[in-house]
Structure 1
Amino acid sequence: MTKTTTQKEVKLKKVLGIVFGISIVVGSTIGAGILRTPGSIAALLPNKLLILACWLITGLYILLCASSYAELTTMMPKAGGSFNYIKRAFGTFAGFAAGWFDFILNVSAPAFFCIVLGEYTSLIFLQLAGHDKVVGIGYLTIFTLLNLPGIKTSSAAQKVTSILKVILLLVLVTGCFFAKPQIPTVAIVTKPTILNGALIIAFFKAMQLILSTFDGWMAVSFFAEEDENPGKNIPRSYFIGALTIITLYLLINGAILYVLPLTTITNSPLAASAAASVAFGNWSSTMINIIAIFTVISILNAYMLIPSRILFGLSREGFFIKQATLVNKGGTPYVSLLVCYVLTFIFMVYNTYEQIFSLAAVMLTVVTASSFASLLMLRKKEPSLYRPYKVWGYPYMTILALTVTLVLFVGFAISDTRSFIIVAVLFLVSYPFYRLIIRANGLSD
């Protein structure tokens, strides 16, 4: 594939370090999902140990993934993440499809986060009730303007909001473990858990929900081009960030399961709020609202940055308009950021983000599996390529990560057939668009 010289020379500023790397992994992953999903998972799985096991297994899978991603990211520290590796391993169309899948997922996410922020803000400031969407658009505009001047401002905001988020979640956990557990009003008879088809399907559905709360663990890959020392900082960011998330998720779930009966969790759309009411009494609603707002603000800031980097990378490869590669003095790909703002605004106004958001786990497994396959392919095709970090236990750990991802994909396809069909159709439809774009930009395969 040929590109113009101008496109090849466009670079982002190398000003980021390990603290940003960890904060972007933590900030882009831990969101409102961890406050909402425990109830849904409790409704699927029959006992507390099985619930914790599901969270732990998913967390170990993320660690397994992080090792392979660390090799890919340090090998090709370019803006945009996964599509770069997939393109190099499997060709232009594969990279195009993976890149746009990734972009669609990430550009729709801020719409959801802004709506959630509008809801929680209205709970604190009652005069805003009924104006959730307007408040959400206000958040979207503020964080776009905050990130427009440059990456240093964005980095500082991400670090501060991520630290505050972790502190507030630990306050919730501590309060729950120091509280007196709620006694079930109805005696619960625990039945032996029998491994059967229904339970396996339920386990996959639970993992799909949990995996969506881990979505964002690979966020540092989108900023590799801006890291001062990617060979050293990127692997540490992956592992420290992933371990922080896994520990927090287990602590939060353990705290909720400790302080509330399983029946209460199952019947609660916001189990964290019910747990907070036991731990903090009259202060619980204010406490959970503040935690939710800071949790979502941190993830919103991250997701204002991520899709603009993907779009910048896609545009540099000729997969979008060349104007989207323009970078201001502060290091922000400002045209890409503004395009993302407009698209997210549209998603919010027309509520079209909901279906796309529900496709997240299925699309994520497609992109992730393709990334693992690209690592195996590139080790074979380009063995002499410089690799500052190499995945431990290669090729077995990468093959295991790929196998688990494919199993998850099959499980999700069975448990969520609608999303699988939509993803398959999007992939098929993407090829005509690919031919159109490369022809319009004068590119060749």
Structure 2
Amino acid sequence: MAKVSAVEGLAPKSMEAGDNNANEEQSTEGVHLKKELSLMNGVAIIVGVIVGSGVFVSPHYVLKNAGSKGMSLIVWILSGLLSMIGALCYAELGTMIPKSGGDYAYIGEAFGDLPAFLYLWVALFIIVPTGNAITALTFAQNILKPFWPACDPPDSATSLIAAVVTLFLTALNCINVKWVTRVQDSFTAAKILALVITFIASLFYLFSGHTENLQNMMDGTVTDAGSIAVAFYSGLFSYSGWNYLNFVTEELQEPYKNLPRAICISMPVVTLVYALTNIAFFAVLTGPEMLVSEAVAVTFSEKILGVMSWIMPLFVALCTFGSLNGAMYASSRLFFVGARNGHLPVAISLIDIKRLTPVPSLIFMCLMSLVLLASNNIASLIVVVSAVEALFILCSVCGLIWMRYTKPDLTRPIKVNIVVPIVFSIICIFLVICSCFRTPFEVGIGVAFIVIGVPVFGVFVYWKNKPMWLQNASNNFNLFCSKLFLSLPEDSKDL
């Protein structure tokens, strides 16, 4: 196996000699990720990843494309319902194929290596780093806002703070999984509290007689299918992350029970919180005010909280900090699994021998996120990410339908009615096709990048008889990373 030859001779002496019980167990069982995630940790990961920058960035874009507050609220609720339907499909996939990697594992099981690689390819360069960059930049903008109350913070300061928080959370994820879950649990509770406070503040505003902003909420509704599809993209971007728990199935305690339970608990909570948050924004702000300001939450706080308006940027920073932490934890496992299967450099599949965390995967993902921090066209980034992600989520759900017939004997602890994945697939197809007419350039970029992945797969994965110089270069790189990060492949017993 490539991953064995790449780190040959690197097994530590403690593993060979068996100096203590822990090392003896590690030498016979190999180096593995530990099952440390409880049900509540799973709920915290889903809620924590979903409730991030989206609910504060997307209201402007949803309203812009939907045309009215009423249609915007419908889009938000239906986006949550669609995400819930998708999550139920993923509950069947996750318990039928209990492997980390999420969509990558499911697409590979259903359709083979090439489609799975293409998902990994796009996730590596578009989906994950772009989402992380947007979240980190939103954190930085809001944490700096109290220091620049009358204008936007300087771009250089924003990029620097975004880079610092990305590096800090990467280090935290490398050092200890328990610290990551504690941060996730704490910030998830804090962000839900922040959004509840936002809603309560809007109630005081309404009860003081200011109800004019909730009248005639359907005025200006857009009926163009392309615009509605783009509005849904903005809404769905805010719910992105509902499938992240499937990336870490191998680390979830009792996954057959806890995966569906975590989904069924977290998705209704997030949908309710999002609906209430948008109602709060609609009650306090006029349509033109929301269309002018991309930082809707900041405009909300300035209008309703007065001298305490600084508290809202702080709340947003809390939300985005927890979201970025959860996204890093979950998505690093995706690249780890892809490398373990030979679709990425072997170095990314190495596990730290002391901390049992996928350090190289985390560092590589951090570097990709740092590169994309220079991007500032959030609207276009959302469309590109959402369109590409919708295509591969559609592929995963179609894989569920396909495997009902090609692999009927697979154990399915959870089995949704076949109507559920069919309805979900039809809606995804509608969104992708309609968005092509409204934003052809952004969708075209995503599709072009997928196509580029085909020759990359042919050269680096499918081509087995590579020149010796290329094999040696790959092995030397993997060996260097193994020594640098004190890491080993998962099956170290094979060394």
Query: Shared topology, TM-score over 0.5?
Result: yes
Comparing 246-255 with 29-38, greater Cα deviation is found at: 29-38
1:77-92 paired onto structure 2 within 5 Å: 77-92=98-113
Q: Distance in 2 between matches of 1:141 and 1:114?
A: 10
Q: Distance in 2 between matches of 1:72 and 1:15?
A: 21
* Structure-2 change in CA distance of 1:168 and 1:303 (3 Å): same
* Structure-2 change in CA distance of 1:42 and 1:355 (3 Å): closer
CA contact (8 A) 1:109 1:353 kept: no
Q: How far does residue 265 in structure 1 lie from its aligned partner after superposition?
A: 2.7
Match of 1:119 among 134, 141, 150: 141
Q: How far does residue 282 in structure 1 lie from its aligned partner after superposition?
A: 1.9
Q: String of CA shifts for 1:44-73, please: whole Å, max 9, x gaps.
A: 334332221121111111111111110001
Q: Distance in 2 between matches of 1:301 and 1:25?
A: 11
Q: How far does residue 142 in structure 1 lie from its aligned partner after superposition?
A: 1.1
1:383-394 paired onto structure 2 within 5 Å: 383-391=408-416, 394=417
Comparing 105-114 with 311-320, greater Cα deviation is found at: 105-114
* Structure-2 change in CA distance of 1:295 and 1:6 (3 Å): farther
* Structure-2 change in CA distance of 1:131 and 1:157 (3 Å): same
1:363-374 paired onto structure 2 within 5 Å: 363-374=388-399
* Structure-2 change in CA distance of 1:229 and 1:407 (3 Å): same
The 3-state SS of whatever aligns with 1:131 is: helix
Partner of 1:150: 176
Letter in 2 for 1:436: V
- Mapped pair 1:271 → 2:296: yes
Partner of 2:279: 254
1:16-415 paired onto structure 2 within 5 Å: 16-104=37-125, 105-125=127-147, 130-179=156-205, 180=208, 182=210, 196=223, 198=224, 200-284=225-309, 286-328=310-352, 329-348=354-373, 357-391=382-416, 394-415=417-438
Q: Distance in 2 between matches of 1:289 and 1:306?
A: 26
The 3-state SS of whatever aligns with 2:351 is: coil
* Structure-2 change in CA distance of 1:222 and 1:190 (3 Å): closer
Comparing 28-37 with 364-373, greater Cα deviation is found at: 28-37
Letter in 2 for 1:411: C
The 3-state SS of whatever aligns with 1:389 is: coil
Q: How far does residue 376 in structure 1 lie from its aligned partner after superposition?
A: 1.0
CA contact (8 A) 1:177 1:259 kept: no
Comparing 118-127 with 306-315, greater Cα deviation is found at: 118-127
CA contact (8 A) 1:108 1:347 kept: yes
Match of 2:446 among 405, 412, 423: 423
Q: Distance in 2 between matches of 1:352 and 1:345?
A: 16
CA contact (8 A) 1:75 1:386 kept: yes
CA contact (8 A) 2:245 2:330 kept: no
CA contact (8 A) 2:226 2:435 kept: no
Letter in 2 for 1:113: T
CA contact (8 A) 1:80 1:99 kept: no
* Structure-2 change in CA distance of 1:380 and 1:11 (3 Å): farther
Q: Distance in 1 between matches of 2:281 and 2:374?
A: 35
The 3-state SS of whatever aligns with 2:122 is: helix
* Structure-2 change in CA distance of 1:373 and 1:137 (3 Å): same
Q: How far does residue 360 in structure 1 lie from its aligned partner after superposition?
A: 1.0
Q: How far does residue 436 in structure 1 lie from its aligned partner after superposition?
A: 1.3
Q: Distance in 1 between matches of 2:339 and 2:218?
A: 56
The 3-state SS of whatever aligns with 1:359 is: helix
CA contact (8 A) 2:68 2:221 kept: no
CA contact (8 A) 1:22 1:241 kept: yes
Aligned length: 436
> What percentage of residue pairs aligned between the two structures are identical?
22
* Structure-2 change in CA distance of 1:381 and 1:248 (3 Å): same
Comparing 356-365 with 381-390, greater Cα deviation is found at: 356-365
Q: How far does residue 273 in structure 1 lie from its aligned partner after superposition?
A: 2.5
Q: String of CA shifts for 1:413-439, please: whole Å, max 9, x gaps.
A: 222111221122122211111011225
Q: Distance in 1 between matches of 2:431 and 2:188?
A: 29
The 3-state SS of whatever aligns with 1:72 is: helix
The Cα RMSD (Å) is 2.8
CA contact (8 A) 1:107 1:307 kept: no
Letter in 1 for 2:347: Q
Q: Distance in 2 between matches of 1:373 and 1:190?
A: 37
CA contact (8 A) 2:44 2:188 kept: yes
Letter in 1 for 2:395: S
* Structure-2 change in CA distance of 1:193 and 1:342 (3 Å): closer
CA contact (8 A) 2:68 2:222 kept: no
Unaligned runs of 5+ in 1: none
Q: Distance in 2 between matches of 1:265 and 1:194?
A: 15
Q: How far does residue 281 in structure 1 lie from its aligned partner after superposition?
A: 2.1
Q: String of CA shifts for 1:175-231, please: whole Å, max 9, x gaps.
A: 11111365769x9988877885x3x33322211111111111111111111101100
TM-score norm. by structure 2 comes to 0.81
Q: How far does residue 289 in structure 1 lie from its aligned partner after superposition?
A: 0.9
The 3-state SS of whatever aligns with 2:414 is: coil
Q: Distance in 2 between matches of 1:18 and 1:225?
A: 13
* Structure-2 change in CA distance of 1:234 and 1:114 (3 Å): same
Q: How far does residue 82 in structure 1 lie from its aligned partner after superposition?
A: 0.5
Q: How far does residue 362 in structure 1 lie from its aligned partner after superposition?
A: 0.3
CA contact (8 A) 1:103 1:310 kept: no
Q: How far does residue 361 in structure 1 lie from its aligned partner after superposition?
A: 0.8
Q: String of CA shifts for 1:286-316, please: whole Å, max 9, x gaps.
A: 1211111101101110122133111101101
CA contact (8 A) 1:106 1:306 kept: no
CA contact (8 A) 1:178 1:279 kept: no
Q: Distance in 1 between matches of 2:365 and 2:377?
A: 15
Letter in 1 for 2:132: P
Q: Distance in 2 between matches of 1:126 and 1:408?
A: 39
Q: How far does residue 338 in structure 1 lie from its aligned partner after superposition?
A: 1.1
Q: How far does residue 395 in structure 1 lie from its aligned partner after superposition?
A: 1.1
